[in-house]
A and B are shown apart, each in its own frame.
Chain A
Amino acid sequence: DGGITQSPKYLFRKEGQNVTLSCEQNLNHDAMYWYRQDPGQGLRLIYYSQIVNDFQKGDIAEGYSVSREKKESFPLTVTSAQKNPTAFYLCASSIGLRGTTTDTQYFGPGTRLTVL
């Protein structure tokens, strides 16, 4: 059963705490992405990675960190430096640079983070 999974589905955090959101894919995709979605807003790119051990900042990287130690995994840490972390977080993957230039993305089910 191929796909992209995110966990947990719901996450609650106290102010000042770091939390890590999991993203795993078994699609053999090289590229992985993290987006944030707020109500009534489009998806905004946080970080992306085209290859293992390499990643790039997106449009709203401040207060977030990522790692890409394995091809299948791209965890996102929301740090205490992120001033407004309550949002819906979506992870996606795509074939990446070795594929065609039409980078269709496959999304996970999302994690809803709430800061208490």
Chain B
Amino acid sequence: SQKIEQNSEALNIQEGKTATLTCNYTNYSPAYLQWYRQDPGRGPVFLLLIRENEKEKRKERLKVTFDTTLKQSLFHITASQPADSATYLCALEGSGGGADGLTFGKGTHLIIQP
């Protein structure tokens, strides 16, 4: 069955440094991968999407890479700020393609310390 793994332990990063989060998947050949941010008690918010034929995608201080050989995506936040503290979710299209929803990882809790 499809499986997505994100580091379940909290990631503590000093303000101003680059935070790197990892998403690994197995038994998948997704056409794209998405990253969401979730704050406590709130719904996830879409951040970035990267397709299988794209190696890297950037949006302001965010960068996502997608290695289909390693079956891994890396999510980077440069010049991190305390306001970046949140849980970040990796999501892949479901087994039936995007039409039947996404499969989410458990998320990585990121803490940016001032």
- Measured CA separation A106–B36 after assembly (Å): 10
What secondary structure prevails in chain B residues at the interface with A? strand
Q: Which chain B residue shows the least CB distance to A47?
A: B101
CB neighbours of B31 from chain A (8 A): 101-102
Task: Report, as a range, how many residues of chain A touch the other chain.
Answer: 20 to 34
- State how many angstroms separate the Cβ of A106 from the closest Cβ of chain B: 7
Task: Report, as a range, how many residues of chain B touch the other chain.
Answer: 20 to 34
Q: What is the total of A-B residue contacts with beta carbons within 8 Å?
A: 66
Asked whether B42 is an interface residue with its Cβ less than 8 Å from the other chain, the reply is: yes
Known contacts A104-B49, A105-B46; A42/B99 CB under 8 A:
no
CB neighbours of B106 from chain A (8 A): 40-42
Known contacts A103-B99, A107-B43, A107-B44; A42/B105 CB under 8 A:
yes
Among A13-21, A63-71, A75-83, A89-97, the stretch in contact with B: A89-97
With beta carbons under 8 angstroms apart, the residue of B32, B34, B100 that contacts A56 is: B100
With beta carbons under 8 angstroms apart, the residue of A42, A45, A107 that contacts B45 is: A107
CB neighbours of B94 from chain A (8 A): 45
Q: Check A43–B44 contact: CB distance below 8 A.
A: yes
Asked whether A8 is an interface residue with its Cβ less than 8 Å from the other chain, the reply is: no
Asked whether B53 is an interface residue with its Cβ less than 8 Å from the other chain, the reply is: no
Q: Check A103–B104 contact: CB distance below 8 A.
A: no
Chain B: residues with CB nearer than 8 A to chain A? 4, 8, 31-32, 34, 41-46, 49, 51, 89, 91, 93-94, 97-107
16 more CB-based (< 8 A) A-B contacts, given A103-B102, A105-B101, A109-B42:
A41-B106, A42-B89, A42-B106, A42-B107, A43-B89, A50-B100, A88-B41, A90-B44, A101-B32, A101-B98, A102-B32, A103-B93, A104-B46, A104-B49, A107-B44, A110-B42
